[in-house]
Structure 1
Amino acid sequence: MRNEFNRRDFLKKTSAAAIATMAAGAPFASLLSSCGGKQTLASTADTVILLYMAGGMAHTETFDPKRFTPFTKGMQSNEVLSTFSSVPTILDGIHFSEGLQSIGKIMDKGTLIRSYVAADLGHILHTRHQYHWHTCYEPPQSVVVPHMGSWIAKELGSMNPVIPPFINIGQRFTVGEGEELKAFHSAGFLGSEFGPFLIPDPSAGLDSVRPPVGMSIKRFEGRNQLYENLIKESAMGEYGSDFQKESLKRSMEQAYILLNSPEAKAFDLRQEPKKSYDKYNTGKFGLGCLMARRLVDQGARFISVTTEYEPFFGWDTHDNGHTRLKDMKKLIDSPIAQLIKDLDESGKLERTMVIVASEFSRDMMMEGRPGAKVQDQVDVPDIIEDMKNYGMHRHFTDGGSMLMFGGGIKRGSVYGKTADERPCKTIEKPIKIDSVHQTMYHALGIGADTNYEIEQRPFYTTPDGKGKAEMELLIG
């Protein structure tokens, strides 16, 4: 189902860029410097939580339902737009797909975007689009591009010096396409200290900030010192720049400080009252939302919680789409709604931006978009006889949904529109990833002209610094 040549080519090129940051003759790492004047913006947000639906969340099956066609043997594929009935939300005239009622009840606290348009990146590969979504740059690049969380960590720093400014929850790198996922979970040229603090499983979160089982604190301290010595004396010391070494050393020191701090309890979900814990406990993603809420209380700057990308699992529905989405909705509906309610009740939502998004959407018939169709990756029969063929199994890039809450985002608002008939593409107010990023940066007070000199050229938060905040999404 996947184009292996493209996958390997992407991996080879992005890995080569990653190695370049650690090799001799990589001058940008030692010459990192801010260039040009930076805009001074009044911020409306201090923290961002990204809730990422990895794998391609179909808009017509979630936040933008179309005509419902129930399953019957012998039905025609091209007549199916939505496989779930629609249910009303708290917003007049706005419906969600069945199974997302809890989120629908809190939409008076945020904005529904129904017009996200993903990029044309050739053959559709999830990790290429995820790289683009998280960095705003199309892969491959000649330098290692920072993740959006790393830009925020670099520009704004920590609100609590003990808590890592960028925390990533829920993604393992031992699954399929793990190396490609690593390619954008990086601070790139900004330095290791701004990279993600990784929590693959929130239920074991505290283990991520403790020495391995059986290792004493004293032994851990000794290993930490040995690692510092290796940085100085090894090939890293011989070839790596002073900037690289100092950044890596600072990242190690930060992890060590966290290990010995009271704030480490924020990662231990056993500390949460049972009644609250149970509201979030739908699995790894739900517990990730709970950990995110606890980390906001401790002053985290950027937190990413993902349903996790693993090929052909989760939202990556190449078959059994309807059945699989029933399960995915059970995982996300209650935790997302509870997170927004808890933040709002505590007063934290006002300065915390929460984004719910996916790399692209899905459709039963269209692979790609009208006018830029790519090779089909799924065989869809003209007549559906089996339940496994009932669902949105092809990748669709010309329309998609996002949710945004807090941090200066309008409440009770709807932005954009897609067509009611196939292809259900964006027909009003298209928004692309550079605008999404710059809207977030604008709310945080980070100007569009923010850049660093890399290989004797400015490198911006969005390509060429041209990303523009969509002010219609923001209050005032």
Structure 2
Amino acid sequence: MRPIDRRYFLRAGALSVGTSMSGWLAPLATAAAKEPARKRACILLWMNGGPSTIDLWDLKPGHDNGGPFKEIGTAAPGVKISEHLPKIAARIKHVALVRSMTSKEGDHGLATYFAHTGYSSRGPIRYPSLGSVVAKELGSDDAALPNFVSVAPFRAFSPAAHEPGFLGPRYAPLAVGESRPLAPQPGGANQAMEVEDLALPGGIATDRFDARWKLAAELQHEFAADRPDPAAKSHHTAYDRAAKLMRSAAAKALKLDDEPAKLRDTYGRDVFGQGCLLARRLVESGVPFVEVALGGAGGVGWDTHTDNFERVKQLSQTLDAGWSALLDDLKDRGLLDTTTIVWMGEFGRTPKINGSKGRDHYPYAWSAALAGGGINGGQAFGKTSKDGTAVDERPVTVPNFLATVCKALGIDPQTQNVSNTGRPIPIIDSAAKPVAELLG
């Protein structure tokens, strides 16, 4: 009989009971998480459109640029954030706010690419996204689940920002809910989270499918042998991944039906909230990188050129529920210490409020956030001017921020890969330096 060890109990408890029924689970899971061999993971909470961080993390009360939102205190002394993020405020000990982000990219497409890769999208080199890099460095080639999963991605701004670049199709993401609307959908998030065509067609038994797949694989191999180009390789990789996932019991991690209804309510019955729950399930199942997008209706809800304050308020409520539940759930399952959470968009919004009660693109002074594993939480790092137009203290560039993420995950940001042009390229630009104060 197989010995019953801590990993077995952790896995069985996570699949069979909710956190409210598992008083023994949290300490046991915490002990398991401290094991040196425990796998690290990253969850990127991506805010499509460029969130108004001056109305979220770095308010300017009393100034004309400040807007109508009030500040509230948090669990970290001296750190104040928006009144519309009360649940995050109560959990700020896990979060490091970076109030001194700065960039020069004010175009959605260019900035999205830059924030995902750490490189500008100029020249012939096809840089990989952060998710693909983490999949390569922390993933496993024989894993049943993909090493990079992207939930509700909005790729219209920059398709290349979501691609594996010169790392190749092996490290491309599995997209979940890509064709579904991103606005809150009470009762409809189940359908949005589904991965289409995972089940075998009606009337096709497993042995018959295996025989068909074996024949198809042999034909693909013969075809690719005479045509060693990226298109043939990409086609074969995509089909191989799909077949492996269809035949794997691990695909159950992509289904939310066995989660307690109360927990699902806590996350929020919308695509972002259920996407955060899915991210927890995937990390728990060994997936090293999950990206969950929040962009509101049409995918660009944070692009608040008009009616900024009402739209930010609505999006904040969705963000507050989903992210706070994710922090609690990861912590209860002993996964927070090994899971780094990244919150960011492509840039911020103008401190000056325009004539349509909106804010426009502003890359020169904005905020991002880090939480969980490897992060020194409970702080606000850097400082902007009283009017929010400039960084006054400790500027953090996008490459420096991404280098910090890599370091928190135990990845050397100067690790080199060979690009499509034959040049060795570091994961993050060689000039980038991790921010030591943000690292736990």
TM-score with structure 2 setting the length: 0.81
1:83 equivalent in structure 2: 68
Counterpart mapping for 1:324-473 below 5 A: 324-363=311-350, 365=352, 380-381=354-355, 389-391=356-358, 393-423=359-389, 425-454=390-419, 455-463=421-429, 465-473=430-438
Say if 2:295 is the partner of 1:297: no
Specify the code of the residue in structure 1 equivalent to 2:131. G
Q: Spell out, residue by residue over 1:385-423, the C-alpha distance to the aligned partner (whole angstroms, 9 max, x if none).
A: xxxx223x2111111112211221012122111112252
1:61 equivalent in structure 2: 55
1:116 equivalent in structure 2: 101
- DSSP-derived class of the 2:349 partner: strand
Q: Spell out, residue by residue over 1:347-379, the C-alpha distance to the aligned partner (whole angstroms, 9 max, x if none).
A: 21111101111111102538xxxxxxxxxxxxx
1:207 equivalent in structure 2: 195
Give the Cα separation in 2 of the matches to 1:117 and 1:213. Answer: 51
Give the Cα separation in 2 of the matches to 1:313 and 1:445. Answer: 32
Specify the code of the residue in structure 1 equivalent to 2:165. G
Q: Choose 453-462 or 302-311, whichever is displaced more.
A: 302-311
Say if 2:150 is the partner of 1:185: no
- DSSP-derived class of the 2:323 partner: helix
Q: Is the 8 A contact 1:237 1:245 kept in 2?
A: no
Q: Is the 8 A contact 2:96 2:438 kept in 1?
A: yes
Question: Percent identical across equivalent pairs?
Answer: 30
1:33 equivalent in structure 2: none
- DSSP-derived class of the 1:401 partner: strand
Flag the 1:159–1:273 CA change in 2: closer, same or farther, 3 A.
Answer: farther
Q: Is the 8 A contact 2:50 2:349 kept in 1?
A: yes
TM-aligned CA deviation for residue 458 of structure 1: 1.3
Give the Cα separation in 1 of the matches to 2:424 and 2:362. Answer: 33
Give the Cα separation in 1 of the matches to 2:48 and 2:119. Answer: 18
TM-aligned CA deviation for residue 258 of structure 1: 2.0
Runs (4+) off by over 6 Å: 42-45, 309-312
- DSSP-derived class of the 2:407 partner: helix
Flag the 1:364–1:319 CA change in 2: closer, same or farther, 3 A.
Answer: farther
Flag the 1:433–1:310 CA change in 2: closer, same or farther, 3 A.
Answer: farther
TM-aligned CA deviation for residue 217 of structure 1: 5.7
Counterpart mapping for 1:16-165 below 5 A: 46-67=40-61, 79-118=64-103, 120-121=104-105, 124-158=106-140, 161-165=143-147
Flag the 1:238–1:162 CA change in 2: closer, same or farther, 3 A.
Answer: same
Equivalenced residues, count: 392
Q: Is the 8 A contact 2:49 2:345 kept in 1?
A: yes
- DSSP-derived class of the 1:288 partner: helix
Q: Is the 8 A contact 2:51 2:347 kept in 1?
A: yes
TM-aligned CA deviation for residue 435 of structure 1: 1.1
TM-aligned CA deviation for residue 203 of structure 1: 2.7
Give the Cα separation in 2 of the matches to 1:255 and 1:458. Answer: 31
Q: Choose 223-232 or 283-292, whichever is displaced more.
A: 223-232
Give the Cα separation in 2 of the matches to 1:184 and 1:470. Answer: 24
TM-aligned CA deviation for residue 143 of structure 1: 2.8
- DSSP-derived class of the 2:158 partner: helix
Flag the 1:261–1:108 CA change in 2: closer, same or farther, 3 A.
Answer: same
Q: Choose 209-218 or 95-104, whichever is displaced more.
A: 209-218
